[in-house]
Structure 1
Amino acid sequence: MKVAVIGCTHAGTFATQATLTAHPDWDVTVYETHDNLSFLSCGIALWVGGHVSDPKKMFYSSPEMLAQLGAHMKMQHTVLKADLKEKVLHVKNLVTSEETIEKFDKIIVTTGSSPVIPPIEGIDNPNVKLCKNWEHANELKKSAPDVKSVIVIGSGYIGAELAEAYATTDKKVTLIDALPHALGKNFDPNISEIVEQDYRDHGVQLALSEKVVSFSGTDQVTVKTDKNEYTADLAILCVGFRPNTGLFKDQVEMLGNGAITTDEYMQTSVKGVYAAGDSAAVYYNPTQKADYIPLATNAVRQGLLIGRNIETPTEKYMGTQATSAVELFGRTYSGSGLTVEGAKVRGMAVATTTLTEDYRPDFMPSTTPVLMNLTWNPKTRQVLGGSFTSQYDIAQAANVISMAIQTKMTIDQLAMVDMFFQPNYDQPLNYVNAIAMKAVAESH
């Protein structure tokens, strides 16, 4: 069996590994534009902030490791044209400029995503940077010692972490977002307001509800919004990602943004063609619909499933809750599933419960509050989402909520789930149980 893998970051790496592990005698060729693979871009802000011991450890695989499994690694090769129905690829070697045409039995599309680069005046200014891949990471790390001021545009996880990294290394930081709140797509306002205050306390200038309209300048960059102007040494664009699927337009079923849709076994609408990672849609369990949620966790699982299903449909995709967490200024933020704002965007009516309580008993030498939000279906009572923030590490609470959504648990069941009590860690009634119990009380 002759298989092509187009693109090799997370989904491509795991799809290649899983395919060759299950079928070591298959002929698998990997085409990757860059000279590296498996880079964990979620560590860029940590590296810029001086929290990475060795940048080489931000790669968990390599061309050599996949080659040892039997893959034919075509690094620095780009696919110019793809005929998915006929399984024919037109490929260019970016080093030699040689072009070849190859036919395959199966194709795995793991082309990932590209940073959203809006058509804004001056966007090609050399002082406007991106934050996505190894090359971007090197550029930001190299410039960090000399940079005195930075403008971060976009306050999703990547932008939020970069703003913190620069602020905690004595840079003057401005954080711009068109939304009214930082981390506005990840958390509801009562949690976002906490991180916003932490930014202000650390000298970060917030420019929320402001839309960037132009870039200008030479030695420095001036960012003009619809309300103000800001000048700094660098501006870093972190306004999201879009599926890198232009090669396959009109050949395969996609969402409106170009994310390739698949069945439960990761097969696209074209037989023998599979898709995973940032180039693909996910099945979002809180809404029970296809959605675009570019996370490495989704890419890894989808990639593994391709390898397990590429010969015979065997293991179904369980879907995702978009579970995630981040630490900013010593405070943890974690969540899974729908926020109230996320539900509104998707046209869903949800009930919501909020609770603040100390994570462990007051007789302990110290304790600190946990702020919690729980969203649930007012008709079925099913848990649809939860989010948490505290100076205590409550990151794993998001995993509890993820399992509750995955298993279609109700607020009544979550309230009574068996969780341990130990005064070092929690109250006799764990805080996740507690917010579910409050939701039950509010539902009557």
Structure 2
Amino acid sequence: MKVIVIGCTHAGTSAVKTILKENPSVEVSVFERNDNISFLSCGIAMYVGGVVKDAAGLFYSNPEELTQMGASVKMEHNVTSIDTEAKKVVVENMTTGEVFEETYDKLVNTTGSWPIIPPIPGIKTKNVLLCKNYNQAQEVIKQNQTAKKVVIVGGGYIGIELVEAFEQSGKQVTLIDGLDRILNKYLDPEFTDVLESAIEEHGVKVALNQAVTSFNADENGSVKSVTTPKGEYEADLVILCVGFRPNNELLKGKVDMMPNGAILVDDYMRTSDKDIYAAGDSCAVHYNPNNGSAYIPLATNAVRMGTLVGKNIIEPKIKYRGTQSTSGLYLYGYNIGSTGVNVNSASHFGLEVRSVFIKDNYRPEFMPTTEEVMMKLVYEVGTNRIVGGQIMSKYDVTASANTLSLAIQNKMTIEDLAYVDFFFQPYFDRPWNYLNILAQAACDQEDQLAK
């Protein structure tokens, strides 16, 4: 069998490794437009902030490793078209200009995503940068050496991490977002209010509810300021972090997609063309909170989906379990975890929900120290099925987001979580674990509503 893999970041790398590990006789050809593979873009902020000392450590594989495993790896090769009837691709060698065709039995589309570039006047001004791949990261790191006033556009995870990283490296930082809260997709106001205050306490200017209307250049063509309807903000470096779109032009009209262009796959990572598989940021995921399809570009999804491509490339063996979009963040001393929907996003996914928010200490007060835990549970009205959760503390409670994620995947109710068996040891928790206490608060709320 001959397999062609297009694109080789998280999903592609995982697919190639798994295919060759489990099916050494399969002939695998990889075409990648960049000059590197497997770059962990989530580490860029850590590098800017000095947590990671060497950017080379943000790669977890390389073309040589895949070649040694048996793959034919063609770097800086761009697939320009796919003929799904003849089962062949047209490829351009970006170094030499040579164009050639190659046939396949199975095709794996792991072309990933690309940052959304809004049509704002001045968007091409020098030092208005994206932050996705290794080459972009290198440019961000280079400009960080001389920049003094940095504007981050976008208050999602990447933007927020960069805000702290630039502020900690001594820059004057402004955060601009068109929404009224940071981290809107992940956290509800009880959490974002605290985090916004922490950011501002560190000297960062937070400009919310403000859409950028222009990027303004100086006489040398470099950015000097960013304009919104509410003001103008000085900048000598701007990083755009406004979201991602799937990179699927090659298969447009050839396989089923969501309206935004994300490829739809079945439980075995097959597209509507059963000889074409897809994984990672190019795909929609099965979103367990509402049992539907959603576009959620995360490295964790990509790695899992790519691995399942490899497991199922010969025949369907292992089903995709779906995702809860579980994520974690460290910001100014706060450890934050979230999973599933929040109250703000639930209606977007067609869910009617209620929630409870409580604060409690993670372990008994008689211990020498303890820390407050803020937590919220979101559950479906009528079924009491858990569909989301958020947790935050100066103590590292982020692993509890994984527990809540598993509760969502397994369709547990608030009653299940309220009385599930967790261990007790005063060094670590209370006789009732704080997740038990959270779910019990939800049960109490339902009891009161029923009266």
Asked whether the two chains share a fold, i.e. TM above 0.5, the reply is: yes
Normalising by structure 2, we get a TM-score of 0.97
Q: State the distance in 1 between where 2:363 and 2:238 align.
A: 42
Q: Say whether 1:325 aligns with 2:335.
A: no
Long gaps (5+) in structure 2:
none
Q: State the distance in 2 between where 1:368 and 1:386 align.
A: 19
Give the 4+ runs in structure 1 shifted more than 6 A: none
Q: 1:230 aligns with which of 226, 230, 233?
A: 233
Q: State the distance in 1 between where 2:405 and 2:97 align.
A: 47
Q: Which residue of 1 aligns with 2:131?
A: 131
Q: State the distance in 1 between where 2:266 and 2:216 align.
A: 46
Q: State the distance in 1 between where 2:429 and 2:85 align.
A: 56
Q: Say whether 1:193 aligns with 2:193.
A: yes
- Displacement, 1:175? 0.3
- Displacement, 1:344? 2.2
Q: Say whether 1:381 aligns with 2:388.
A: no
**Preserved CA contact (<8 Å) 1:128 1:221:** no
What is the SS of the residue equivalent to 1:3? strand
- Displacement, 1:85? 3.5
- Displacement, 1:54? 2.5
- Displacement, 1:100? 0.3
- Displacement, 1:347? 3.0
Q: State the distance in 2 between where 1:149 and 1:43 align.
A: 22
Normalising by structure 1, we get a TM-score of 0.99
Q: Which residue of 2 aligns with 1:46?
A: 46
Q: Which residue of 2 aligns with 1:434?
A: 437
Q: Say whether 1:350 aligns with 2:353.
A: yes
Task: After superposing the two structures, state which structure 1 stretch, 271-280 or 226-235, moved more.
Answer: 226-235
Q: Which residue of 1 aligns with 2:362?
A: 359
Q: Which residue of 2 aligns with 1:7?
A: 7
- Displacement, 1:183? 0.8
Q: Say whether 1:371 aligns with 2:387.
A: no
- Alignment size in residue pairs: 444
- Displacement, 1:361? 1.2
In the TM superposition, 1:64-213 aligns within 5 A as: 64-213=64-213
Q: State the distance in 1 between where 2:133 and 2:120 align.
A: 22
Q: 1:256 aligns with which of 254, 259, 263?
A: 259
Q: Which residue of 1 aligns with 2:426?
A: 423
Q: State the distance in 2 between where 1:406 and 1:346 align.
A: 16
**Preserved CA contact (<8 Å) 1:385 1:405:** yes
Q: State the distance in 2 between where 1:344 and 1:181 align.
A: 17
Q: Name the amino acid aligned to 2:119.
A: P
**Preserved CA contact (<8 Å) 2:167 2:204:** yes
**Preserved CA contact (<8 Å) 1:350 1:377:** yes
Q: Which residue of 2 aligns with 1:291?
A: 294
Q: State the distance in 2 between where 1:352 and 1:238 align.
A: 30
Q: 1:311 aligns with which of 311, 314, 317?
A: 314
Long gaps (5+) in structure 1:
none
Post-superposition CA distance 1:92-121 (Å, at most 9, x none): 001101000111111000000000001111
In the TM superposition, 1:334-345 aligns within 5 A as: 334-345=337-348
Q: State the distance in 2 between where 1:424 and 1:124 align.
A: 54
Superposed CA RMSD in Å reads 0.9
What is the SS of the residue equivalent to 1:193? helix
**Preserved CA contact (<8 Å) 2:351 2:380:** no
Post-superposition CA distance 1:143-176 (Å, at most 9, x none): 2222111000001000000001011122111001
Q: Name the amino acid aligned to 1:261.
A: L
**Preserved CA contact (<8 Å) 1:76 1:93:** yes
What is the SS of the residue equivalent to 2:213? strand
